[in-house]
């Protein structure tokens, strides 16, 4: 009798545990953002998606980023691009590896290469998800400076690697009709170090390192990348299928070493936030604005305010995430790198405040989406 009773209670306990497991009930739900702290996914593991980018589709956000491993080796791509999904931006479900590095050492994305800052956009014409990233070939340090592209039929992947290359070989920048000749790059007599790098790389294509991609309201997509030995940012138009460059591009803030670009648009104005160039160490963020994607892009200073603003609170920009369904709701997303133990890198998410067309970012220990009005 007693044994039967115990057997029954044990059965009930097992059933309850299984049901809790299936429903996710009992797992700590995240209810706020805590910049710089560990951020557990649905399995309780710190999210592993560094240098990330986001895609929003039909009520779901997807987060793509560099999967890092422990130690210094984690700065190289030993696994690939990790994907997570979320309905509320606080709680993220592990969707696994969206793009795997290759075991074939001759492959462009061979295991141990450097594959950074992946960003995914959806192409309505081809119905493909297109992932762009910064690629450095295995064993070549940061010398390859290529853009890589992969595609998938599903947001979460698996993505198939397509190609990697230096963009826009043989192409001169696009200039507004009003641009004076003196401001145009002259490869017979380069006027600056940066112009010199541009001219050197003209035949083979421009260097492409830190990057983002941005889709405008008209469906045109742009690739923004640190070029010319990181001295200049290029903003380049992608082909209608988003898997190549059209050859039309501009150079932004020539010679000033901008990295980590993140683009967004509000009320018809284009905004870009980036960083300076100090490797894994943090520096002051910088922002730019423009009324046309083709510029001119105006340098507007440091958007960060208060203590820690000179080092972006220890982080470096990677994306600006628009919150779906809310007006003027944009989240500044940055990485706090930990190169000695790459997997431990943290995420800094902070709300962007608008003062007219100016932007401001302030540190918060924790915050919720209700900081945004509607």
Contact residues for ligand GAL (CB under 6 A)? 51, 116-117, 210, 259-260, 277, 279-280, 316
Least distance in angstroms from the C-beta of 281 to ligand GAL = 8
Rounded CA separation 162/157 (Å): 14
| Among 234, 237, 238, CA closest to 259 | 234
Q: Evaluate whether 115 touches 101 at the Cβ level (below 8 Å).
A: yes
Least distance in angstroms from the C-beta of 83 to ligand GAL = 19
Query: Residue 212 or residue 243: which is nearer to ligand GAL going by CB?
Result: 212
Query: Residue 175 or residue 280: which is nearer to ligand GAL going by CB?
Result: 280
Least distance in angstroms from the C-beta of 259 to ligand GAL = 5
Q: Quote the tokens at residue 251.
A: 């150079």
Q: Evaluate whether 91 touches 81 at the Cβ level (below 8 Å).
A: no
| Among 374, 371, 373, CA closest to 32 | 371
Rounded CA separation 315/280 (Å): 9
Query: Residue 280 or residue 372: which is nearer to ligand GAL going by CB?
Result: 280
**Which single residue is written with the structure tokens 């081809």?**
126
Query: Residue 133 or residue 237: which is nearer to ligand GAL going by CB?
Result: 133
Burial group, residue 311, by CB count within 10 angstroms (0-12, 13-18, 19+) = middle
Least distance in angstroms from the C-beta of 230 to ligand GAL = 8
Least distance in angstroms from the C-beta of 314 to ligand GAL = 14
Residue closest to ligand GAL when measured from CB atoms: 279
Query: Residue 92 or residue 133: which is nearer to ligand GAL going by CB?
Result: 133
Rounded CA separation 136/138 (Å): 7
Query: Residue 273 or residue 329: which is nearer to ligand GAL going by CB?
Result: 273
Rounded CA separation 264/283 (Å): 21
Least distance in angstroms from the C-beta of 279 to ligand GAL = 4
């Amino acid at each position: 009798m007693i044994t039967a009773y115990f057997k029954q209670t044990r059965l009930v306990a097992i059933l309850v545990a299984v049901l809790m497991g299936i429903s996710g009930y009992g797992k700590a739900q995240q209810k706020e953002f805590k910049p710089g702290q560990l951020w557990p996914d649905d399995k309780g593991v710190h999210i592993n998606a560094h240098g990330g980018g986001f895609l929003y589709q039909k009520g779901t956000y997807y987060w793509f980023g560099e999967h890092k491993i422990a130690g210094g080796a984690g700065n190289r791509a030993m696994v690939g691009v990790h994907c997570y999904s979320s309905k509320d931006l606080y709680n993220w479900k592990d969707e696994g590896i969206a793009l795997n590095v290759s075991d074939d050492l001759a492959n462009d994305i061979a295991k141990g290469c450097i594959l950074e800052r992946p960003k995914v956009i959806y192409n309505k014409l081809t119905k493909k998800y297109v992932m762009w990233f910064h690629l450095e070939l295995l064993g070549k340090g940061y010398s390859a400076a290529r853009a890589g592209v992969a595609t998938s039929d599903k947001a979460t992947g698996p993505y198939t690697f397509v190609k990697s290359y230096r963009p826009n070989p043989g192409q001169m920048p696009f200039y507004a009709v009003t641009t004076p000749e003196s401001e145009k790059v002259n490869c017979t007599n380069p006027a600056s170090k940066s112009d010199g790098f541009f001219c050197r790389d003209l035949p083979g294509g421009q260097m492409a390192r830190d990057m983002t991609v941005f889709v405008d309201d008209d469906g045109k997509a742009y690739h923004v990348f640190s070029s010319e030995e990181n001295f200049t940012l290029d903003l380049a138009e992608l082909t209608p299928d988003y898997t190549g460059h059209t050859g039309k591009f501009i150079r932004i803030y020539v010679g000033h070493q901008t990295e980590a670009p993140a683009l967004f648009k509000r009320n018809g104005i284009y905004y870009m936030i980036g960083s300076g160039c100090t490797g894994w160490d943090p520096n002051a963020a910088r922002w730019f604005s423009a009324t046309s994607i083709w510029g001119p892009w105006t340098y507007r200073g440091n958007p960060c305010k208060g203590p820690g603003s000179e080092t972006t609170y220890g982080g470096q920009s990677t994306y600006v995430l628009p919150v779906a369904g809310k007006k003027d709701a944009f989240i500044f997303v940055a990485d706090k790198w930990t190169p000695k133990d790459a997997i431990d890198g943290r995420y800094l998410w902070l709300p962007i405040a608008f003062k007219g067309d100016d932007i401001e970012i302030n540190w918060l220990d924790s915050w919720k989406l209700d900081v945004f009005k509607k």
